[in-house]
Chains A and B, each alone.
Chain A
Amino acid sequence: MHDEAHPAYLRHHFVTVGQQRETASFGMWLFLLTEIMFFGGLFMAYLLYRNWYYDAFVAGSNTLSIGLGTTNTAVLILSSFTMAMGVYSAEIRNRKGLLISLSLTICLGLVFLGIKTVEYHNKYVEHHIPGADFSVEDFVHPADKRDVPLAPDMAQHAQLYFFLYFAMTGMHALHMIIGISILFILLYQAWHGAYVNGHTSTIDNFGLYWHFVDIVWIFLFPLLYLISRHPLK
């Protein structure tokens, strides 16, 4: 039995719902700032070695499937859209819309991870995983005639590219996995009627997280996949 000004979800140390919501979203944003800096270190390493070993980075980049990469980008953007729709549904207290949006977001997230797995598997098959199994063969004697053969020492540096590729996309995928796990919880709670009573902070803030993960990918995609593609002849 709570009136509008003091609903059950208003925690004891806040005065108004508005204050609580803004506080939560501000906190979330600050957390996202730490995420920017966390990925920032990796981007820094990437920029440095891309400058140093440009040829190796080009060669490494050319082994990635641009089709899969673009598809994944589109999938992730779509999932961002469905997440935004989820936030909207919660705002207008539409339970069905919320459930559908969250489910779709989960599905798209899983599709993204699935495609990522395929890409990772390809790298494994091609012996492009940095470490013991790495083979420079594809770079020293490229199958594609348009590829410039790399000297063996430069080809070795492609390992740096692949390490950064795995570190950056892996860190991103880890964020996706965490996100999807939380999405399942949110879906479960929404199924039981949560988030359509005006208390949308949790959904809002999770939305911020999900969009942030999307933004990271928006930068990873051109940096990793599109370094220097062969012009269409």
Chain B
Amino acid sequence: MSAPTEHEHHVVGPKVYLLILLALLVLTATTTGVAYIDMGIFNPIIALAIGCLKAVLVILFFMHIRYSSRVMMLTVGAGFFTFLVLITMTLSDYISRNWGLW
């Protein structure tokens, strides 16, 4: 028997890892540097965008999702999706409380 969704195993080489490491370090420096520039509302947005970018890099390459099956990608997506459901649906309550007097 072979599992129906078995996926080719991919070995990621040190070159890719090194590249990602450099990218992550550069992004870390950027996010710290950018924090010192006052951009108002964009500060947290940029900080989070860089954070997301870094996380995606780690997930895709360090955690090999780039080389995994679609089921795995969906699974990872589902996790973050549920997290977003928790955040957005809860905040929807808190934000819209100020819209009315109730």
Bound together:
yes
State the A residues within 8 Å of B (CB): 15-16, 18-19, 21-23, 25-26, 29-30, 32-33, 36-37, 40-41, 43-44, 47-48, 51, 66, 70, 73-74, 77-78, 80-81, 83-85, 88, 91-92, 207-208, 211-212, 214-215, 218-219, 221-223, 225-232
Q: Give min CB distance, B31 to chain A, whole Å.
A: 6
Do B3 and A44 have beta carbons less than 8 Å apart?
A: no
**Contacting pair B86 A77 (CB below 8 A):** no
A-facing mask of B47-80, CB < 8 A → 1, else 0?
1101100110011011100001101100110111
Q: What residues on B are CB-neighbors of A33 within 8 Å?
A: 75-76, 78-79, 82
Q: Which residues of B contact A229 (CB under 8 A)?
A: 35-36
Which residues of B approach A to under 8 Å, CB–CB?
Answer: 1-3, 5-7, 9, 11-14, 17-18, 20-21, 24-25, 28-29, 31-32, 35-38, 43-44, 47-48, 50-51, 54-55, 58-59, 61-63, 68-69, 71-72, 75-76, 78-80, 82-83, 86-87, 90-91, 94
**B99–chain A nearest beta-carbon distance, Å:** 15
Residue on B with the closest CB to A208? B63
- A88 engages B13 (CB within 8 Å): yes
Q: A15-B2, A73-B28 are in contact. Are A211 and B62 (CB under 8 A)?
A: yes
Instruction: Chain A residues near B18: list those with CB within 8 A.
Output: 81
Query: Is A77 within 8 A of B36, CB to CB?
Result: no
Measured CB to CB, the nearest residue on chain B to A220 is B51
**Could you count the A-B residue pairs with CB atoms below 8 Å apart for me: how many are there?**
147
Contact at B35–A32, with CB atoms within 8 Å? no
Q: List 20 A-B contacts (CB under 8 A).
A: A18-B7, A19-B2, A21-B9, A22-B5, A33-B76, A33-B79, A33-B82, A36-B82, A37-B82, A40-B86, A66-B35, A81-B18, A81-B62, A88-B13, A91-B11, A211-B58, A211-B62, A218-B54, A222-B35, A232-B36
User: Given the interface contacts A32-B79, A207-B63, does A47 sit within 8 Å of B87 by beta carbon?
Assistant: yes
Q: How far is the CB of A124 from chain B (nearest CB, A)?
A: 25
Q: How far is the CB of B41 from chain A (nearest CB, A)?
A: 11
Q: How far is the CA of A18 from the CA of B29 in the complex (A)?
A: 40
- Beta-carbon contact of B62 and A231 below 8 Å: no
Q: Is the CB of A36 within 8 A of B83?
A: yes
Instruction: Name the contact of B31 in the complex, choosing from A15, A81, A207, A222 (C-beta under 8 A).
Output: A222
CB-defined contacts of A37 to chain B, threshold 8 Å: 79, 82-83, 86
Question: Given the interface contacts A43-B87, A226-B32, A230-B36, does A215 sit within 8 Å of B6 by beta carbon?
Answer: no
Chain B residues with CB below 8 A from A81, complex form: 17-18, 20-21, 62
Of the residues B21, B29, B72, contact of A29 by C-beta under 8 Å: B72
